[in-house]
Every structure is written in C-alpha cells, then in structure tokens.
Structure 1
C-alpha cells in the first residue's frame, strides 16, 4: 500500500489487577479472582493489556484511524478472524512485561462476498529480564459492507432485551450455554479498550455496516471458550491455543459451547449458534 510500511511497536506495560478483576466480574462464574502474584489465566492478556488510543485518532467506526500501526485498508468491515497463541512462560498479575507487535503481512483477496484484505499481526510478550512468555498471531479480515437494515427497524429492539445475567451456564457434562446482552458487550468493549461501534451502536451496526444486530466480539468468544476450559477443571496453563471465528454471533442469539476430544493433544471447544452450526472453534494444546 503506497506510503505505508509495517513497523514494530514496543512498549513496557503493567499486568494491571484492575482490568483482570473486571473480567472476572464479567464472567461471574465462581472461579477465584486472580490477584497480584497469581498466574494470569490463558488469554486474559487481551484484557490485562488494553491499548487506549487518544480520541483524536479514533475513526468513524470506533477503531483507531488506519494507516498508523495497521495498514490504510479502505474496506469498512473489520473482523477478528482467528489466530494462535503459544505460551513459553507464566505471566503474573502485577508484573511488568515488554510487548512487541508488528504487522507481518497484508494480503488482498476476492471471495464470495467481494473484496477482502487479510492482515496478520504478531505480538510477543517478554518478562522482566528478557524471557519470552507468549508468542501470538492474530488474523484480521477487512470486508465490504453489507446492505443497510430497513429504515423501519427499531433500535429499541436491542435495548429491550431481558438481562442475560452471568454469560456462562453449565448445560451438561461438556456443555455451557453462552448468553449475551447489550450490557455484556458494552462492558467487554470497555474492559478491552475496543471502541468498534458494531458491538454497542445499534444504528451504526445495522445501517452502516449492514449487520442484523449488535455483533458479539470475537475475542469475547475466544476468552469465554478458554474460561469453559477452566470451568471444566483444567486450571493449568496450556502449551498453546488456536482459535478461529467461522461466522458472526449476534447479541442475544442462543449459543452453546461444547467440549469435544479434538485431534490435537487437547480438547476442541466449539461455539454452536442458533442452528447448531459451529460459529467458532478453539483448540487447546495441552503440550
């Protein structure tokens, strides 16, 4: 892309106990709240290390203006498609880590829904002293907008939903229901410094980007799947985790996590949507 080059961003950051406690309150699942000195649960670094851009750098969609760290992709829909995390060392709440991030590739493609751009971002976290703790790849997809929802659609429909309560509820030996409402999405957006308007702004989500309703965050789905793994009794740190979002889940849609044996050296957790189709898949590598 003319005028833009990938560059490495390095920062020293605190694993702040406050957002960690906020995520524990959001899940409200009865597990102990990780405090200073405790090992950070798998994938909780997404909440423990939020990045808050200054207001003048926020674009119309709520994300930082493109052309800085991320490339200046003109396609309006940004989707969190998946990725992989490998753990090399434990990370503790209250310690300071060095984060090193870089855009590894930008690939333009054409799919059934039109043009799309795939952006791959790598992030590494180093503990004090230089020890590599975590190595991560995230896949972002940019797409064309869908058709706008009818002007007669009532945004009050989203606000009138019955409160969902705790998002994870055991439904069987290997299954957990996943309940969402606008309040949950707003709280997760705040906890992760994610201002993307498709998660809380009903008119924007439906009339600008063309979704049928508020979109459940891809990172929230992955984090909830990792939490299901802990609720099933696996409280230790895995060797790795692969996650893939196959289709968007919309606010208040019925959904259920199901733990399957999987082909990897660990379980697979599928998020089944209203029709029983897999909307997301998380594979746990126990090493």
Structure 2
C-alpha cells in the first residue's frame, strides 16, 4: 500500500479518559525504582505513557503483539514497528488520582528511503488535559521498517557526563515495564519471536523506558529543576541483558543534553529545556 493510499488516516483522532490511578502509579514506581507518588501529587515526567492505555482484545492484535494495524494507525503491513523519538512540552505536572483526557491525532505520514530499505514514518500528536488545562502536549514518531537486519553497533562516542546511572535491563524489568504500559509488542518479552522473526539478538529495551530513565537521572542530579521541553530520539536499539547507562550534562542555563550509552557509544539521545 502506497503513502497516497494511507492519506485517509491523516487527521484521524481519538480521545481516551483516565483517572491517574494511585495504585497504578505505585506499580510504575516499583518498576522504575522510584518513590511512590501520593494521590494529588505530581506524576513524574513521562509516567503518563503508562496511562491512557490502548486496550483491545487479544483477537484484535497482530502477529507482533501490537493492536492490529489499520484502525487508528495506518496498516503498514509486513513491516516491523519501532518507536523512533518525539517531542514533549510540559506545561505543568499531571496530578495522581485526578481524571484527565488525552486526544491523539495522526498528523503526518511520510515514506523515506533508509540504508536498510523503505521506512514509513507516522507522527501522532497527543494533548493531555486535566482540570481544564492542557498539561502535556507531545508528538511521537513511529517508524515502520521493512524486515532487515537492525543496526546494533554504535559509532558516535558518548560525551563526558556530569551524572551517570547504570541500568541493568533484566527480563523482569522489561516484563514489568511492558505490563505497566500494557505493551504487548513481543520484541520486549518473547525471545524466540524477537530473534527468529525480527532479527534481533535478544530482547529489545523499550524506547519509552529509556527516555523515562534519562529524565529520571536528570531529576536525581537536578532535583529543583522543572522540565519544560524534551526532544528525544533513538539511534540504535539496546538489547537485554547487556547493561547500559543513562547520563547527561547541562550545556548552558536551562538546557541539558541527555543520552543512553553502551560500551562508550551513544544509543539514544535527548535535549531537555528546563527551569531551575
């Protein structure tokens, strides 16, 4: 199916309502090794990815474990799905235990040629409103690539960091993050599938979890900072159970560079704007 045939998906929109349940926040907290936020308190940055979940019956999932394509997102048949990156604006904190509404809209569909074949990029805009105020606005870039060997080796050296935290991506950690985000993509927990069908040498660490851990490490090193804008992208996948690190440094007032590194080279990177 050509990109022109997918034009019907442009502008497609859906709204999901969720009360940011405190018990679920506790599940996220123990998964990420963080304190449990109390009801009425701010939800840590990017934890909203574990809410507003897309719940479909198992009969309506594809062979990769994702919801079958062709409903909200375009079909992109016979391609492997990856979370490529995105941009998030934080206008304030989401509050635990308070109802919120997320409206998602497909804003762009673009076919590109990459080194490993054709790539279909789909951009989805999300706006989260709580107490009548748009608290979080973001764009997510999803890429569907033709089956091909993934890039696994980094070439760009990691910068000198001001803070760094080690991450041990055990199968239990990946399973728990899949569970709290209701993410049934089989590359994160099904070893025979990920190695035999998608060509990875092991389980793939979730891109959203890597971005969350990068922000978490920044918050540990800069506890008084208020996050305002985040732009992030994946350079290559991280494969469990090989350890990696999330790190960063402040480059100027209100601006920080964040990244995930493995064996001294970059795997994911982000730029964060903040207020002290």
Query: Fold-level match, TM-score > 0.5?
Result: yes
Kindly indicate whether residue 12 of structure 2 is the aligned counterpart of residue 10 of structure 1: no
Q: What is the aligned partner in structure 2 of residue 153 from structure 1?
A: none
- Which SS does the other structure have where 1:215 is aligned? coil
> Cα gap change, 1:9/1:266 in structure 2, threshold over 3 Å: closer, same or farther?
same
Q: What is the aligned partner in structure 1 of residue 239 from structure 2?
A: 250
- Alignment TM-score, normalising by the size of structure 1: 0.85
The answer to whether the 8 Å contact 1:199/1:217 transfers is yes
The answer to whether the 8 Å contact 1:16/1:49 transfers is no
Shift of 1:22: 0.9
Shift of 1:95: 0.5
Per-residue CA distance 1:94-119 (angstroms, 9 max, x = gap):
00111100111110111100111001
Kindly indicate whether residue 200 of structure 2 is the aligned counterpart of residue 207 of structure 1: no
Match of 2:107 among 104, 109, 114: 104
- Alignment TM-score, normalising by the size of structure 2: 0.89
Kindly indicate whether residue 238 of structure 2 is the aligned counterpart of residue 234 of structure 1: no
Match of 2:45 among 21, 34, 42: 42
> Cα gap change, 1:173/1:89 in structure 2, threshold over 3 Å: closer, same or farther?
closer
Q: What is the aligned partner in structure 1 of residue 180 from structure 2?
A: 191
Kindly indicate whether residue 140 of structure 2 is the aligned counterpart of residue 138 of structure 1: yes
Q: In 1, Cα distance between the equivalents of 2:268 and 2:38?
A: 30
Shift of 1:230: 1.8
Kindly indicate whether residue 78 of structure 2 is the aligned counterpart of residue 79 of structure 1: no
Q: In 2, Cα distance between the equivalents of 1:113 and 1:104?
A: 25
Q: In 2, Cα distance between the equivalents of 1:66 and 1:173?
A: 42
> Cα gap change, 1:210/1:237 in structure 2, threshold over 3 Å: closer, same or farther?
same
Deviates more, 1:52-61 or 1:91-100: 52-61
- Which SS does the other structure have where 1:285 is aligned? strand
Q: In 1, Cα distance between the equivalents of 2:118 and 2:222?
A: 43
- Which SS does the other structure have where 1:2 is aligned? helix
Gaps of 5+ in 1: 149-171
- Describe how 1:140-155 pairs up with structure 2 within 5 A: 140-146=142-148
- Which SS does the other structure have where 2:230 is aligned? strand
Q: What is the aligned partner in structure 2 of residue 281 from structure 1?
A: 269
Instruction: Please provide the CA RMSD for this pair.
Output: 1.9
Q: In 1, Cα distance between the equivalents of 2:73 and 2:55?
A: 15
Shift of 1:260: 1.8
- Which SS does the other structure have where 1:206 is aligned? helix
Gaps of 5+ in 2: 151-160
Kindly indicate whether residue 125 of structure 2 is the aligned counterpart of residue 122 of structure 1: yes
The size of the alignment, in residue pairs, is 260
Match of 2:28 among 19, 23, 28: 23
- Which SS does the other structure have where 2:74 is aligned? coil
Q: In 2, Cα distance between the equivalents of 1:90 and 1:175?
A: 25
- Which SS does the other structure have where 1:222 is aligned? helix
> Cα gap change, 1:194/1:134 in structure 2, threshold over 3 Å: closer, same or farther?
same
The answer to whether the 8 Å contact 1:262/1:283 transfers is no
Write 1 or 2 for the structure with the bigger share of strand. Answer: 2
- Which SS does the other structure have where 2:123 is aligned? strand
